[in-house]
Amino acid sequence: MNFDQLKEQWNKEDSNVHIPDTIQQLKESKHPIEKIRKNMKKEFPMQIVAIILIAFFPLQFQFPSSQYIIYYVSYTMMVVISSYYLFGFYKFYKQTEFYTGNTKHSLWKIYHELRLNMERYQSFGFLLLPHFLVTIGLYIYNIMEKQGKSLTALNSSLQLGLIIAVLIGTLTIITSIVLWTKYIYGASAKQLENILNEIDE
């Protein structure tokens, strides 16, 4: 039953119950959903290409073959996590395809699914951090080895500096993921929320 039929039925059953004419607001909500779909359609292939390119980091950074096992164990874990996320991403994308925008219930459902996927999107980014830390660690180790140094040769101030640099880098990446999610999907989510709030009033 669509919104117009529901309104008509409720008005027949009880003349004191007034359902506001908000079908136009529901139709307007299709615009943010189309924007979400457009962003997802761009991001999906880019993410797959990025995951494939990451597989070639050992060659690009000239890691010795003895370190391949370390790198590719970490990479395999990243691919497994990515596959789970990308499957959820694709499922949500297909779900938005069937959204008609003619019922409040379907709008609420899409809104909650969008919020859930935004959280999943951020979690996915956070779960990739360990792999990138492994990659950076191997890269730094190889540079030091070429210079005839080792991590044990670092004095306490350099070790502290390295720890601080890793913490700052990690916080920067986390902040970037949160801001990027809000930039890509936040405005559309807010627009849907505003429409739903207007309907409730």
Q: Which residues contact 149 (CB under 8 A, 6 or more apart)?
A: none
Could you tell me if residue 15 is inside a domain?
A: no
Give, in order, the Cα–Cα distances in Å from 43 to each of 36, 143, 185: 11, 34, 12
Could you tell me if residue 3 is inside a domain?
A: no
What is the predicted pLDDT for the residue at 14? 46
Q: Which residue has the tokens 């309104």?
A: 7
What is the predicted pLDDT for the residue at 18? 39
Report how far residue 125's alpha carbon sits from residue 43's, in angstroms, rounded to the nearest whole number. Answer: 14
For the chain, the domain total comes to 1
Could you tell me if residue 131 is inside a domain?
A: yes
Single pTM value for the model: 0.72
Question: Cβ(106)–Cβ(99) under 8 Å?
Answer: yes
Could you tell me if residue 85 is inside a domain?
A: yes
Average pLDDT per 10 consecutive residues for the chain, totaling 201 residues: 52 45 56 82 89 92 91 93 89 79 73 87 87 88 80 73 86 90 87 78 58
Exposed, middle or buried by CB within 10 Å (0-12, 13-18, 19+), for 119?
A: exposed
Could you tell me if residue 19 is inside a domain?
A: no
What is the separation of C-alpha 11 from the centre of its chain, rounded to a whole number of angstroms?
43
Could you tell me if residue 191 is inside a domain?
A: yes
Domain region containing 169: 24-200
Give, in order, the Cα–Cα distances in Å from 21 to each of 72, 187, 201: 58, 25, 11
Query: What letter represents residue 114's amino acid?
Result: L
What is the predicted pLDDT for the residue at 55? 93
Could you tell me if residue 140 is inside a domain?
A: yes
What is the predicted pLDDT for the residue at 4? 58
What is the predicted pLDDT for the residue at 121? 86
Phi/psi at 148 (5° precision): 75, 25
Exposed, middle or buried by CB within 10 Å (0-12, 13-18, 19+), for 162?
A: middle
Count of alpha carbons within 13 Å of 177, Cβ hemisphere only? Answer: 18
Could you tell me if residue 66 is inside a domain?
A: yes
